[in-house]
C-alpha cells in the first residue's frame, strides 16, 4: 500500500503544474516534493508525471489518479468539517469571508460588540472580492452580494444593500446635475451591476476618475472630485457627504449568508451567523 501522504504531494503537483508551485503551496522545499513524487511512482510502479524543464505534465494515468486524489481531498475536508462541528459549544475560531465593502466598513466595526457577547469565540474577517471555497475550508461562513449556487452549501438572504448618489458637501456642481462628473470602475469591471448602474446614471456625462473598489470610491468622493454611487449605510452616516437628488431607476445588492451544510449545526458557527443576521437587520433589514 502506498503512503497517502505521498498522494497529497502528487495532488499538489497536479494542481499547481510544477514542483516549485507544489512546494510553495505545501510550504516545503522543492526536493521534498520531488522525493515524495518519486516514492509514489515507485510504490505504484507507474509514471504519473513527465518532468519538463519548467513544468510537470501529467501522464494519461496521472490524470486519472489526479481526479481520484481530488475526490479524496473533498472527503478529507468533509472529515475535518464534521470534526469541527463536534467541538465544544461556543468555543473556537470562525472565519467569515466578506466583500471588502462589508468586511471593512460594516463587520470590522462590530468585532468589539461580538467579543463582548462571545468572549470564547474568535471571529476572524477575511475581506476579499474573490469567491472562496467553503468545501476547502477557505472560510467557515461567507457573506456574498449574489445568490450562491454551490450544491453543498446552505444559503439565506439576510438583507438588501441599497445605493444612492453622493458627493462631498463642498462639491462645486452639487446644484447643477448637468455638470456632474462621476466616479466609476475601470473598463475591466464593466460587467459589474454597480458599474452598469453608475454608467446609466451618468448617461454620457464625464467620468472624472476610475477606482477599482467601493471603499476607495467612497474615499475619493469625500475629496470633492465628483459623484459616486455608494451604499446608503456608508453615505447616509458620513457628515461630510451629501445625498444628491436622483429620480431614476434605483439600485441595490442582495446580501446572502452562506455556510457549508456540514457546519450548520456547529454552536460556535451558529453564534456568528446569528450575530451577523441581527447586525444586518438595522441598516439592511
pLDDT tens across 145-172, in order? 988 887 778 899 999 999 999 999 999 9
Per-residue pLDDT of 203-253, as tens digits, reads: 999 999 999 999 999 999 999 999 999 999 999 999 999 999 999 999 999
Last residue of a domain, one of 51, 85, 119: 85
pLDDT of residue 76: 67
Q: How confident is the model at residue 261 (pLDDT cuts 50, 70, 90)?
A: confident
- Most confident among 46-60, 64-78, 93-107 (mean pLDDT): 93-107
Phi/psi class of residue 222: alpha, beta or left (left: φ > 0; alpha: ψ in -120 to 50)? alpha
63 and 98 co-located in one domain = no
Mean pLDDT of the chain: 87
Residues 13 and 78 in one domain: yes
At residue 139, the pLDDT reads: 86
In angstroms, rounded to a whole number, what is the distance separating the alpha carbons of residues 159 and 145?
A: 10
Distances (CA, A) of 93 to 162, 265, 273: 31, 15, 13
Domain of residue 19, CATH code: 1.10.10.10
CATH number at residue 231: 3.40.190.10
* Beta-strand runs (E) in the chain: 49-51, 56-58, 92-98, 121-127, 141-144, 153-168, 182-184, 207-210, 228-231, 241-243, 252-260
> Which residues are 144's β-sheet partners?
256
CA-CA distance, 47 to 250, in Å (whole number)?
59
Q: Tell which wins on pLDDT, 272 or 24.
A: 272
- Domain finish residue from 55, 85, 115: 85
pLDDT for the residue numbered 3: 77
Residues contacting residue 248 through CB under 8 Å, at least 6 positions apart: 200, 201
Give long-range contacts, CB 8 A cutoff, 24+ apart: 204-207.
Answer: 205/178, 205/180, 205/181, 206/181, 206/182, 207/181, 207/182, 207/183
Report the Cα 23 to chain-centroid distance in Å: 25
Domain limit, last residue, from 38, 58, 85: 85
Considering the domain architecture, whether residues 150 and 203 belong to the same structural domain is answered as no
Q: Write out the residue range of the structural domain in which residue 75 sits.
A: 4-85
Question: pLDDT band at 100, cuts 50/70/90?
Answer: very high
pTM for this model (two decimals): 0.69
* 138 and 174 both lie in a single domain: no
Is there a single domain that holds both residue 154 and residue 272? Answer: yes
d(CA 171, CA 67): 58
Q: Name the pairing type of β-strands 56-58 and 121-127.
A: unpaired
Q: Could you tell me if 32 and 66 lie in one domain?
A: yes
pLDDT for position 153: 84
pLDDT at 34 over 70: yes
Within this chain, do residues 141 and 269 fall inside the same structural domain, yes or no? yes
- Are 126 and 48 members of one domain? no
Q: How confident is the model at residue 275 (pLDDT cuts 50, 70, 90)?
A: very high
- Percent of the chain clearing pLDDT 90 (strictly above): 52
pLDDT at 174 over 90: yes
Q: What is the pLDDT of residue 284?
A: 78
Do 127 and 110 lie in one domain? The reply is yes
Domain count, the chain: 3
At 157 the pLDDT is 94
**Mean local confidence (pLDDT), 129-140:** 76
Pair 140, 221 in one domain: no
170-195 per-residue burial string, b: 16 or more CB within 10 A, e: under 16: ebeebeeeeebbbbbbeeeeeeeebb
Amino acid at each position: 500500500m502506498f503512503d497517502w501522504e505521498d498522494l497529497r504531494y502528487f495532488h499538489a503537483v497536479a494542481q499547481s503544474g510544477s514542483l516549485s508551485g507544489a512546494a510553495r503551496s505545501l510550504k516545503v522545499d522543492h526536493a521534498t516534493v520531488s522525493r515524495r513524487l518519486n516514492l509514489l511512482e515507485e510504490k505504484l510502479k507507474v509514471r504519473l508525471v513527465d518532468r519538463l524543464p519548467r513544468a510537470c505534465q501529467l501522464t494519461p494515468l496521472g490524470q486519472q489518479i489526479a481526479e481520484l486524489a481530488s475526490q479524496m481531498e473533498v472527503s478529507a475536508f468533509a472529515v475535518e468539517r464534521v470534526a469541527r462541528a463536534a467541538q465544544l459549544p461556543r468555543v473556537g475560531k470562525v472565519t467569515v469571508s466578506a466583500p471588502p465593502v462589508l468586511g471593512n466598513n460594516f463587520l470590522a466595526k462590530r468585532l468589539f460588540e461580538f467579543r463582548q457577547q462571545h468572549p470564547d469565540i474568535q471571529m476572524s474577517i477575511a475581506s476579499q472580492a474573490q469567491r472562496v471555497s467553503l468545501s476547502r475550508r477557505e472560510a467557515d461562513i461567507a457573506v456574498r452580494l449574489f445568490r450562491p449556487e454551490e450544491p453543498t452549501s446552505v444559503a439565506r438572504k439576510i438583507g438588501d444593500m441599497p445605493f444612492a448618489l453622493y458627493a462631498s458637501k463642498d462639491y462645486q456642481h452639487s446644484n447643477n446635475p448637468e455638470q456632474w462628473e462621476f466616479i466609476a470602475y475601470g473598463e475591466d469591471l464593466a460587467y459589474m451591476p454597480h458599474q452598469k448602474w453608475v454608467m446609466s446614471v451618468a448617461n454620457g456625462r464625464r467620468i472624472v476618475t476610475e477606482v477599482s473598489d467601493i471603499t476607495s470610491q467612497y474615499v475619493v468622493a469625500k475629496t470633492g472630485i465628483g459623484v459616486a454611487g455608494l451604499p446608503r449605510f456608508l453615505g447616509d452616516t458620513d457628515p461630510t457627504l451629501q445625498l444628491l437628488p436622483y429620480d431614476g431607476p434605483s439600485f441595490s445588492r442582495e446580501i446572502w449568508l452562506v455556510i457549508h451544510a456540514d457546519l450548520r449545526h456547529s454552536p460556535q458557527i451558529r453564534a456568528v451567523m446569528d450575530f451577523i443576521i441581527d447586525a444586518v437587520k438595522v441598516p439592511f433589514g
